[in-house]
Chains A and B, each alone.
Chain A
Amino acid sequence: MASTSTRAPVGLSSVTRDGIGASPRRPDGTLKVTGEFAYSSDMWMEDMLWGATLRSPHPHAEILGIDVSGALRLPGVYAVLTHEDVPGEKRYGLEYRDQPVLAFGKVRYKGEPVAIVAADHPETARRALERIKVDYRVLEPVSDARRAALDPDCPLVHEEGSLPLHEEHNQRGNRVRYQPIRTGAFADGASVEEVRALADVVVTGEYEVGMQDQAFLGPESGLAVPAEDGGVDLYIATQWLHVDQRQIAPCLGLPADKVRLTLAGVGGAFGAREDLSMQIHACMLALHTGKPVKFVYNREESFFGHVHRHPATMRYEHGAKRDGTLVYATMEIVLDGGAYASATPAVVGVASSLGIGPYEVPHVSVDAYGVYTTNPPCGAMRGFGAVQACFGYESQMDRLAAELGMDPVDLRIKNAVSQGSRIITGQEIDMPMPMAEMLRRAREMPLPPDRSSLPAPSDPRTLPGGVANTSHGEGIVRGIGYGVGLKNLCFSEGFDDYSTARVRLEVVGGEPAVTVHTAAAEVGQGLVTVKGQIARTELGVERVTILPSDTRVGSAGSSSASRQSYMTGGAVKTACEAVRERVFALVRERGLVEDGHPDALLSLSGGKVVSAAEGVLISLADLLGGEAIEETREYHHRPTQMLDPSRGQGSSHTQFGMCVHRAVVDVDVELGLVKVVALDAVQDVGKVMHPQQLAGQIQGASAQGLGLALMEEIQVHDGVIRNPSFTDYLIPTILDTPPMRIDVLEHPDPHAPYGLRGAGEPPTLSSTPAIVAAVRNATGRPLTHAPVRPEDIVGIDPPQG
C-alpha cells in the first residue's frame, strides 16, 4: 500500500477549482453590482395589495379605543385590522413571548404597531392610516434604564403578572434578565473592600455606549401570498426563516406547515432582521383579503421597525499589582432593552460572561442587567453584548496602564488569556487563543508615515475634516490605540443549535452537478459562495447550484453570532460526506475496487472517483448515469450550558474568536475632528474559507466599529428617536474609512468544521475601543462615551462674565 499510495493519479485532467480556500466569485455578485439583483422590496404581483402600519405616536400610553371605520370607508381599502383580528396568539417573541402582534391595552414605545391596513395603492394605505382614530391616555415614559434596573419604585413597563417570568434569568419587575458572576474571593462572599486590599493600584471608570443602528440599506419588506390550502406563503428578507415560522404560525392559528417561508433578497441585516417586523401583519392581511399583500417600510419607518444595539452604561473597577498583574475586577452593566425583550436575555448572557474580556483575573464580580423601558426595543446587532463590554474593559486596561506607567500592549500581554485559560464563567478556552502573539503582531505592523513625511501633507482627504477643507496640517496630533475583543461564536447557553443541508449529486447534460439546499439566510456575508466551495471540495464537482433558501428543508438556524460558516458549512460538509459515502458504496458495488478497499484511499476530484493507489477509477458521469444521490443532514455543535443564575458559572459558549486592532488617528484638537489614518487588524480565523470575503467581513466590521467610535448614535429623547434618517443618523462614508492592513492567523479549532472560526463579529468589538484609545492618546481627554463627538475633544469653555 505505502509504495503505491504515492503514485500520482492517472488521467486526472484537473483538480477541482473554486473549493475552500479559493476566492471564487459570488453567485449573486454580478447581479448585485449591476443592480439587477431582486431585493425583497422589488417583489411584485399583479393583483397584490399594499400593507401599511399605524404606529404609536407615544412612547407610553394606554389605548382607550380604536376606531377604524373612517379608514374602512376609504375606497381602495380592503382591510383594516387591529389586535382583535389576530387569529391566534396575541404575542410573539424571539426569546420571551412578550411582544403584541398589534398593541392592546398599552403601547410601550413610539412606533409600536397598533393597526394594519391593506389597500390597492401604497398611498391609499397611508391615507387610510390617517383615518384610524386611536384614543390614548398618555403615560409617563420609563426612559432611564438604570432606574428601571435598580429602583424598585420605578413604574413597570409590563404589568405585574401579565407575562410568565423566566426564573433562570432572575427576571423581575423591569429586569428582563439579571446575571451576576462571582469568582475567587467574591464567590466566597468577600466584599469589594476586602478584595481591594489585595491590589497595589486601583482604577475605576464609568463608560457609556450609545444606541447604534444596524443601518442596513434594504428596508424591511415582504410579500405574503394566500394559498389554496388555507395557508400562506411568505417571501421575506430575514435572518432565520424557521424562527420566523415558529413565531408567525401560532399567531395566525395555523400549523407550521401551512406557513411556508422563502428567503427574498436581503439588503443587509446585522441583527436587525432577527426579530419579526411585518411578517405576521402581511400574512394576516393576505389571509383576510385572499390577496397577496406586500409591505415595504420606508427609511424613517425602518428606524422604528427594527431593534437597535442596546445602549449601555458600565461601571468598572480594576485592581492590579505594581507589576501589572490583574488581581480583581468588578463590573456593573445596564443594557437598555426597550419595550420588549427581543434578544436581551442573550445579550446579557454575553455581556456578563465576557464582561471583563480576554484577561486572567482571579477575583471577579459582575452584575449585568437587561431591562425593560419605554425606549425603542433593542436586540441583536453584530457582536451584541460583547461590543459594549469591550469598550468598557479596554478603556479600563488603558486607564490601568496609564496609572501603572506601563505600555498598554505590555499590560495586555501580561494578563492575556491563552489556550487552556478559563474565562470568568469557569469555561476553559479549549482552542488556540494566541492573544499575546496577536498583540505583538499588531504592535509590529508598520506604522503609517508621519504627516510631515507625506508627499502632499495637506491633501485634504488625508486630514481630519476631509474634503471639508477643515484642517490644514497645523495643530494636528497623532495618537495610537489598541483594542482586543473576545467574542463567543455560534449560539450559547444550552441552546441545541443546528443547521440542516440537503445535497444532491446527479448528472446533468453529461456532467456531474451538485445541488445544495439549505434554509440559511444569505444576508450579504457570502454564505452562498461558501456553501458552493464546500460542495466542490467535498464532492470534487465544480458545477454547484445553490437553491433558494426556504422552509422546505430543515432549519439552518440564524445568520447571526458569526455562526453560518461553522453551522451551515458544517451541515453542507456532513451532507456531502454522506453523499460521498454512497458514491464509494456504488464504486464498490460496481466492482471498481477490490473488497475491503478503505474509503480513506478514495476521493472525488475533477468530477472523477480517484483511488490513491490506482488513480482515476471512473468519472462520476459514468458511475451515476441516471441515478441521483441525495442526502440530508443536520449538524449540531457541541452542547453548551446555561449560566447558573447566582454565580454565573457554566461552559456557556461554543467557540471563541478574537481580533486585535491598532488604530492610528490624527486629531485636530482645535476643531475636534478625527481622521482615522490606519485601522489595522490581527484576527485568528482558524481556517480561511474565502480570502476575499473574509477581508470584506473584517473591513466591514472594523468600519462598523469606527462608526460606533466616532459618529453613529440614535438620539433618543424621552423615548423618541430624533434622527430616523440617513441624513441625521450618520454612518462612515469611504472618506471616513482608512486603509486597513489585515493579518489573518489560522490556528484551527479542533471542534469546528475545517477548524474554522466565525469571523464576522470579532472586529466589531475591538475596532471601537482602539479608535477611542487613539483619540485619547492624542488628546489626553478621558472620552468615556462612544461615539466621541467634536465637542468631547474641544471641550466647553467656562461661561464668560
Chain B
Amino acid sequence: MNPFDYRRAEDAAGAVATVAADPRAMFLGGGTNLVDHLKLGIVDPDLLVDVTRLLPDGVEPLPDGGVRIGAGMRNSDLAADPLIRRRYPVLSQALLSGASGQLRNAATTGGNLLQRTRCVYFQDVTMACNKRRPGSGCSAFGGYTRYHAILGASEHCIATHPSDMAVALSALDATVVVQGTDGERRVAMTELHRLPGDAPERDTVLRHGDLITAVELPDLPFAARSRYRKVRDRASYAFALVSVAAAVDLSDGVIREARIALGGVAHKPWRATRAEAELRGARPTEETLRAAAEAELAEARPVEGNEFKPTLARNTLVATLRDLVEEERTR
C-alpha cells in the first residue's frame, strides 16, 4: 500500500471541490471495499477524503410520501430502520443478506452503491482486465465465471455488480442524490450503474468528484410486501450467484404491477422490465410466472462456466414471485 493523505471533510461542497480537483483523490466511506483495493493495488490514490462525518445518516419521510436515506447511513442501521422494515422490507432483507454484521456496521449507503465488482480477475492485478487497465483484455473468458454476467455483458467485460442493496433499490425505483461541482442533481437508480459496453472501466454515470449524499425512495405502498432472495454457496457471508428483489401489487387475483430486479447476473442491478411487462395484468399462475421469468432471460448469454445461471435465475425469480403471490393471497 502506498502512502496517502487522509482528510476528514467537514462539508459536502468542500469535499467535492477537493476530490474533483485532484484526479488522485477519492472519497472514503466505511472503507470496507476501498481499503481492500488499496491493499490489493487496484487503486493507488494519494488522498482519501473521509465523508462519513458530513453525510446525513438517517431515514427521513418526505412530503410526497417517499423517504430519504442519508448516504452516510451504515448498512446495519438502514436494515434495522423501522420505517424501512415496514414499508420496504425488500431493502432491509437485501442489506441483511450481504456481507457480515461487522462489515455492515462499517459500510455506508454511498459506499455500498459504489463498491466495485468482485470479479477475481479484476481483483488480481497481475491479470489483464479492461476494467482495471482499459484495453488490456478480459481474463474472465474461459476462466472462473460462476459469479459473472449473463445479461448485458460485452466482449470487453463480463463482471457483475456485487451489491445486494443496489438490487433492492433498483426494484424500488430509487433516486440517487448526487452533489457535483456544479451543484446537486438526481440520478435514477436504474441509470446509475452502466453496462460495460466498450468502456467497462466506468461502473457508473458519475463523474470524478461526484458525491452521493442521499438515496430517495418513492411512495410505493405495495412494496410493504416485497422480498429479497439470494442464492449463494453458503448460508451467510457470501456474494450472490443470483438474487431477486421483487414487489407485486395484486388485487382481485390479477397482478396490477410488479417491480423486479436481479442481482449477480449483470454489470449493474438488472431491472427486469420484460418480466414486469409480462406480469402486468396477468393472473399469477405457475405458467405466467415462469413465462415472465423466461421472457426476462430470453436474452441471457452465459459464458463457459456459468451456463447454469439462466436456469438458476429463472427458478429464483419464479420462487420469489410465487412466495409473494402466496403471501398476498393468504393475507
Q: Are A and B genuine complex partners?
A: yes
In the complex, the answer to whether B236 meets A472 with C-beta atoms within 8 Å is no
Q: Mark A725-737, 1 if CB is under 8 A from B, else 0.
A: 0011010110110
In the complex, the answer to whether A730 meets B229 with C-beta atoms within 8 Å is no
In the complex, the answer to whether A469 meets B237 with C-beta atoms within 8 Å is no
Among residues 452 to 479 in chain A, which have CB atoms less than 8 Å away from a CB atom of chain B?
A: 465-472, 475
| Segment at the interface with A among B59-67, B174-182, B251-259, B307-315 | B307-315
Most A Cβ at <10 Å: residue of B97, B142, B230, B236: B236
Q: A723-B144, A797-B311 are in contact. Are A469 and B235 (CB under 8 A)?
A: no
Contact of B230 among A57, A470, A727, A791 (CB under 8 A): A470
In the complex, the answer to whether A671 meets B319 with C-beta atoms within 8 Å is yes
In the complex, the answer to whether A467 meets B241 with C-beta atoms within 8 Å is no
In the complex, the answer to whether B236 meets A466 with C-beta atoms within 8 Å is yes
CB distance from A394 to the nearest CB of B (A): 23
For B146, the chain A residues whose CB sits under 8 A away are 789, 791
Contact of B311 among A300, A465, A475, A795 (CB under 8 A): A795
Contact of A467 among B235, B315, B323 (CB under 8 A): B235
CB distance from B293 to the nearest CB of A (A): 11
In the complex, the answer to whether A468 meets B230 with C-beta atoms within 8 Å is yes
In the complex, the answer to whether B308 meets A791 with C-beta atoms within 8 Å is yes
Interface assignment of B232: CB less than 8 Å from any CB of chain A: yes
CB distance from B169 to the nearest CB of A (A): 18
For A789, the chain B residues whose CB sits under 8 A away are 146, 233
CB distance from A288 to the nearest CB of B (A): 26
Contact of B235 among A465, A718, A723, A790 (CB under 8 A): A465
Q: A57-B126, A672-B231 are in contact. Are A468 and B311 (CB under 8 A)?
A: no
Interface assignment of B160: CB less than 8 Å from any CB of chain A: no
In the complex, the answer to whether A796 meets B307 with C-beta atoms within 8 Å is yes
For A715, the chain B residues whose CB sits under 8 A away are 120, 144
Interface assignment of A86: CB less than 8 Å from any CB of chain B: no
Q: CA separation between A300 and B318, bound complex, in Å?
A: 38
Q: Mark B222-256, 1 if CB is under 8 A from A, else 0.
A: 00000111111111111101000000000000000
For B307, the chain A residues whose CB sits under 8 A away are 796
Query: Contact residue range for chain A?
Result: 35 or more
Q: CA separation between A758 and B65, bound complex, in Å?
A: 66
Among residues 99 to 136 in chain B, which have CB atoms less than 8 Å away from a CB atom of chain A?
A: 118, 120-121, 124, 126
Q: Mark A351-382, 1 if CB is under 8 A from B, else 0.
A: 00000000000000000000000000000000
In the complex, the answer to whether B310 meets A717 with C-beta atoms within 8 Å is no
Q: A468-B229, A470-B229 are in contact. Are A670 and B236 (CB under 8 A)?
A: no
In the complex, the answer to whether B312 meets A722 with C-beta atoms within 8 Å is no
In the complex, the answer to whether A795 meets B227 with C-beta atoms within 8 Å is no
CB distance from A304 to the nearest CB of B (A): 12
Interface assignment of B93: CB less than 8 Å from any CB of chain A: yes
Q: CA separation between A800 and B237, bound complex, in Å?
A: 34
Please name the residue on chain A nearest to B232 by beta carbon.
A468
In the complex, the answer to whether A790 meets B120 with C-beta atoms within 8 Å is no
In the complex, the answer to whether A736 meets B93 with C-beta atoms within 8 Å is no
CB distance from A722 to the nearest CB of B (A): 4
For A437, the chain B residues whose CB sits under 8 A away are none
In the complex, the answer to whether B312 meets A791 with C-beta atoms within 8 Å is yes
In the complex, the answer to whether A711 meets B308 with C-beta atoms within 8 Å is no
Please name the residue on chain A nearest to B243 by beta carbon.
A468
CB distance from A735 to the nearest CB of B (A): 4
In the complex, the answer to whether A796 meets B308 with C-beta atoms within 8 Å is yes
In the complex, the answer to whether B235 meets A468 with C-beta atoms within 8 Å is yes
Interface of A is mostly: loop
Please name the residue on chain A nearest to B236 by beta carbon.
A735
Q: CA separation between A672 and B319, bound complex, in Å?
A: 12
Contact of B234 among A671, A733, A800 (CB under 8 A): A733
CB distance from B239 to the nearest CB of A (A): 8
In the complex, the answer to whether A730 meets B96 with C-beta atoms within 8 Å is no
Q: CA separation between A475 and B309, bound complex, in Å?
A: 20
For B143, the chain A residues whose CB sits under 8 A away are 717-718, 722
CB distance from A658 to the nearest CB of B (A): 29
Q: CA separation between A797 and B294, bound complex, in Å?
A: 11
In the complex, the answer to whether A468 meets B144 with C-beta atoms within 8 Å is no
Interface assignment of A578: CB less than 8 Å from any CB of chain B: no
Interface assignment of A312: CB less than 8 Å from any CB of chain B: no
For B231, the chain A residues whose CB sits under 8 A away are 465, 468, 470, 671-673, 790
For B309, the chain A residues whose CB sits under 8 A away are 791
For B237, the chain A residues whose CB sits under 8 A away are 733
Interface assignment of B205: CB less than 8 Å from any CB of chain A: no
Interface assignment of A165: CB less than 8 Å from any CB of chain B: no
In the complex, the answer to whether A790 meets B234 with C-beta atoms within 8 Å is no
For A723, the chain B residues whose CB sits under 8 A away are 120, 144
In the complex, the answer to whether A800 meets B230 with C-beta atoms within 8 Å is no
CB distance from A195 to the nearest CB of B (A): 39
For A300, the chain B residues whose CB sits under 8 A away are 40
In the complex, the answer to whether B312 meets A672 with C-beta atoms within 8 Å is yes
For B97, the chain A residues whose CB sits under 8 A away are 467-469
Q: CA separation between A472 and B319, bound complex, in Å?
A: 9
Interface assignment of B1: CB less than 8 Å from any CB of chain A: yes
Please name the residue on chain B nearest to A727 by beta carbon.
B118
In the complex, the answer to whether B311 meets A794 with C-beta atoms within 8 Å is yes
Interface assignment of B163: CB less than 8 Å from any CB of chain A: no
For A735, the chain B residues whose CB sits under 8 A away are 234-236
Please name the residue on chain A nearest to B315 by beta carbon.
A670
Q: Mark A650-677, 1 if CB is under 8 A from B, else 0.
A: 0000000000000000000011110100
For B311, the chain A residues whose CB sits under 8 A away are 791, 794-797
CB distance from B10 to the nearest CB of A (A): 30
Please name the residue on chain B nearest to A299 by beta carbon.
B39
Interface assignment of B316: CB less than 8 Å from any CB of chain A: yes
Interface assignment of A85: CB less than 8 Å from any CB of chain B: no
For B232, the chain A residues whose CB sits under 8 A away are 465, 468
For B319, the chain A residues whose CB sits under 8 A away are 471, 475, 670-671
CB distance from B141 to the nearest CB of A (A): 11
In the complex, the answer to whether B120 meets A469 with C-beta atoms within 8 Å is no
Query: 29 A-B pairs, CB-CB below 8 angstroms?
Result: A57-B126, A466-B236, A467-B97, A467-B235, A468-B232, A469-B227, A469-B230, A470-B229, A470-B230, A472-B323, A670-B318, A671-B229, A671-B319, A672-B312, A710-B233, A710-B234, A717-B143, A722-B143, A730-B233, A730-B238, A733-B237, A735-B234, A735-B236, A736-B234, A789-B146, A789-B233, A794-B308, A794-B312, A796-B307
Leading 3 A-B pairs by shortest Cβ distance:
A466-B235, A791-B308, A735-B235
Given A466-B235, A791-B146: 7 more A-B contacts, CB < 8 Å: A468-B235, A470-B229, A671-B312, A711-B234, A722-B143, A789-B146, A800-B294
